[in-house]
Amino acid sequence: MFYIGLLFLFICIELIYFKIANHYNIIDKPNSRSSHTSVTLRGGGIIFPIAILTASLLGYVSWSVALAVILVAVVSFIDDIKALPQLPRFASHAIAIGLVFYDLNLFTQAIWALPIVFILLIGWVNAFNFMDGINGITVLYAFFAVASFSFLPINLEYLPLLITVGLSCIAFGFFNVRKKAKTFAGDVGSISMALFLGYFMIKTIIGSGQIGYLLFFSVYGIDAVITIFTRIKKKENILEPHRSHLYQYLANELGYSHILVSFLYAGIQLLINALLIYLDFIGYLSLPIVVSFLLFQILVYVWIRKNVVQKVNLKEV
């Protein structure tokens, strides 16, 4: 009953936010780079940092993690309303990651590892944000990631935190996983959720000693990284908006349903996560297996992308 009440609260908060967003004209107008065609309320993902704050007040997560998420959420929300320069955005991310390191007690670990983890976490946060381009993709991917973490025995004590975050995904998803979305997550939602997922990934790896759980994020990671390399090869500015992710080709150029593509991405990742959990359970999730599986995923992705791009090019001709 408590969690049902919490879900109802999150839905009510979303509805209140919609009134505010309508009043102050916080909207996302479609442009040539957009995957949507109508004006939509921006920033509905504000429910994600609100959920983390709620979890902190309930004692489910530390103040440092809550502060980290709130910090990037506030800066990102301002950026959603009026574009900010790179410096304040990067500064907020750097400070937030420092707070995450503090919570995880990483400053007492090997100093040489900190820059590597910092770069990986910064990269993940930005990659997750770049992947937020069609209805449902961010919230479904996040929800399945949270669900996957929940199935690991080492995370049993963190179930209240994961359930709280999962409920915020359900509340947001009710308004976003639609043919015509009521709201988009905005940077406030995608970046705050990315930071939380990155934090929990590091926490899980430390607790389990299993680096293989990095593949919980492999679908997004592979698409983001290969798309970046493709754009660099074409001498494009990787910081500018674009429509060259595989999911964008599928949804925009080939006309597949946004919801279908979003479920495809999230569903494939969920299947991968289930396999990883099973392999770890039977003791087969070794580093060679992890690397081999990652290479296999990359090859499959490259093959699919090549065929999809060929279809797009033929269609344009």
Least confident of 18-32, 40-54, 154-168, 240-254: 18-32
pLDDT of residue 32: 47
Q: In this model, does residue 31 exceed pLDDT 60?
A: no
Q: How confident is the model at residue 36 (pLDDT cuts 50, 70, 90)?
A: very low
- Indicate the pLDDT class of residue 33, thresholds 50, 70 and 90: low
Q: What is the pLDDT of residue 38?
A: 59
Q: Both tokens of residue 287?
A: 């580093």
Q: Give the residue with greater pLDDT, 133 vs 73.
A: 73
- Is the pLDDT score of 241 beyond 80? no
pLDDT higher than 90, residue 315: no
pLDDT above 70: residue 72: yes
